[in-house]
Chains A and B, each alone.
Chain A
């Protein structure tokens, strides 16, 4: 099946099947495996990502969170398993079909990964210039609208190195959202940030979800942050999903490793 309309230059996003819009499950991960040599990192991960919700994946360091994130957006190819996005197995796609499907996702990296040789404006305009035929004025209007919505319009002409960590995250979200992606993935968004900036980033994730109606997938081990923003929470332990549910459900789980992780984080719903 051809997922893309191709005019030799522009890739359009994979079309959304009509029945998929009503499906409360946006992404179905089924029996996902990934090994590096003899090191088996993901040992059959199965997980549902809920449409329009903030889905958090937590777990201790080395549990495979970042590896799972890299498979989710196909930065690496899983050894086996399914990644069903809007009813299409993303894990099986190749070439231009894969590229078209990637436009369903936006990604906010841990260190923001803004292009340091470009201004904030050019960073956010980059996906539009690459994938649309919009005029210069239309690109400018759209970028400035998005920057204004996220409170960083004044920094448009600055370089990423001139911004604080929190502002860089905002610009990264603006860039990830500029093509109106359906799913936004955040990799450890609050790692290394001070408490005030952490709270700002948490608000930003919630704002992005409310403003743009996206499905958010957040990879984190910051439990305080998790409880502030999560609608759905999954605990990744030794390469498998050990527990999943609402934050309240996970706080009262009897799964030993999950309970120990939460106890060690010293957090509660209060």
Chain B
């Protein structure tokens, strides 16, 4: 019987395979940890470009008006509808909860404060994200994958100046306006539920609201709304502007834009509140 051929040592091969797997895993983990910073970096780069091009002529007034109409006027119905029900459900919960210890007279005050400081700006921004933010990403993404943005460049028109700047300015201006609308309609919804359906005294409701809510509370909400307006339009534009991979890529970009905007709004909400109140830092 002939001698068996000596088999090659398996250990170095296995070791190099394991090293390869470990290296891939480390790469993946590092990428996972760094990708949010890369995304934030890309957003700030686009913001810087928008500021740079935003202060330079030509100023295309028509584009600003169109963007404001799309983001602002187009969102009035959605914001009003959600405000009515948010105000109504707040009244329903608070009257029910406060009645347990006889404090239902404070319902108007608490609702007013909650709407002005938190619920108004956050809900208005989320509604704008779901309606206008996703549409902006889809529009810019489609323009990217069909070479329309490249066409702008070849016609010596800066695409950031033409497409991003008007939308950013519109977000900055119109989200606070929609927040004020949300606050007003939300109070009306709460008033209707608390007074007409649950029997609270209308005078007490409005008196308590005026007593607790002042201009500082409203302005805190408006500052947040401005920050949210810039953040959500910036994220929507960034995702659309750099979309790739055809129709599926545009779909993924839109999905990312909505998720990122919602997270950014809630995170920025805490950050801005901490800054305005001067407390709550880590």
In whole angstroms, what is the CA distance A11 to B146 when docked? 26
Interface residues on chain B, size class = 10 to 19
In whole angstroms, what is the CA distance A116 to B147 when docked? 11
Partner of A113, one of B58, B147, B156, B158: B147
A211 at the interface (CB under 8 A from B): no
Name the CB-closest residue of A to B148.
A113
| Chain B window 140-178, contacts with chain A (Cβ cutoff 8 Å), 1 for yes, 0 for no | 001100111011011111100000000000000000000
B155 proximity list for chain A (CB < 8 A): 102, 126-127, 130-131
In whole angstroms, what is the CA distance A75 to B153 when docked? 7
Given contacts A8-B57, A9-B57, A9-B58, contact A109 B150 (CB under 8 A): yes
Name the CB-closest residue of A to B139.
A117
A111 at the interface (CB under 8 A from B): yes
| Chain A window 107-147, contacts with chain B (Cβ cutoff 8 Å), 1 for yes, 0 for no | 10111011110000000001100110000000000000000
Instruction: Count CB-based A-B contacts (< 8 Å).
Output: 49
In whole angstroms, what is the CA distance A10 to B151 when docked? 18
Q: Is the CB of A107 within 8 A of B151?
A: yes
| Chain B window 58-85, contacts with chain A (Cβ cutoff 8 Å), 1 for yes, 0 for no | 1000000000000000000000000000
A10 proximity list for chain B (CB < 8 A): 58
B158 proximity list for chain A (CB < 8 A): 99
A173 at the interface (CB under 8 A from B): no
In whole angstroms, what is the CA distance A231 to B117 when docked? 70
Q: Is the CB of A113 within 8 A of B57?
A: no
Given contacts A75-B153, A107-B154, contact A115 B57 (CB under 8 A): no
Closest Cβ–Cβ distance, residue B157 to chain A (whole Å): 5
Name the CB-closest residue of A to B60.
A130
Name the CB-closest residue of B to A98.
B156
Closest Cβ–Cβ distance, residue B146 to chain A (whole Å): 6
Q: Is the CB of A102 within 8 A of B156?
A: yes
B146 proximity list for chain A (CB < 8 A): 111, 113, 116
| Chain A window 188-227, contacts with chain B (Cβ cutoff 8 Å), 1 for yes, 0 for no | 0000000000000000000000000000000000000000
A107 proximity list for chain B (CB < 8 A): 150-151, 154
- B window 116-146: CB within 8 A of A: 142-143, 146
Closest Cβ–Cβ distance, residue B188 to chain A (whole Å): 36
Given contacts A8-B57, A9-B57, A9-B58, contact A99 B150 (CB under 8 A): no
In whole angstroms, what is the CA distance A99 to B53 when docked? 14
Closest Cβ–Cβ distance, residue B166 to chain A (whole Å): 14
Residues of A within 8 A of B (CB): 8-11, 73, 75, 99-100, 102-103, 105-107, 109-111, 113-116, 126-127, 130-131
Between A and B, 13 residue pairs with Cβ closer than 8 Å are A75-B150, A102-B154, A102-B155, A103-B156, A107-B154, A109-B147, A111-B146, A116-B142, A116-B146, A126-B155, A130-B58, A131-B155, A131-B156
19 A-B pairs besides A111-B147, A130-B156 with CB distance below 8 A are A8-B57, A11-B156, A73-B154, A99-B158, A102-B153, A102-B154, A105-B154, A106-B154, A107-B154, A109-B150, A109-B151, A113-B146, A113-B147, A114-B148, A115-B151, A116-B146, A130-B155, A130-B157, A131-B155
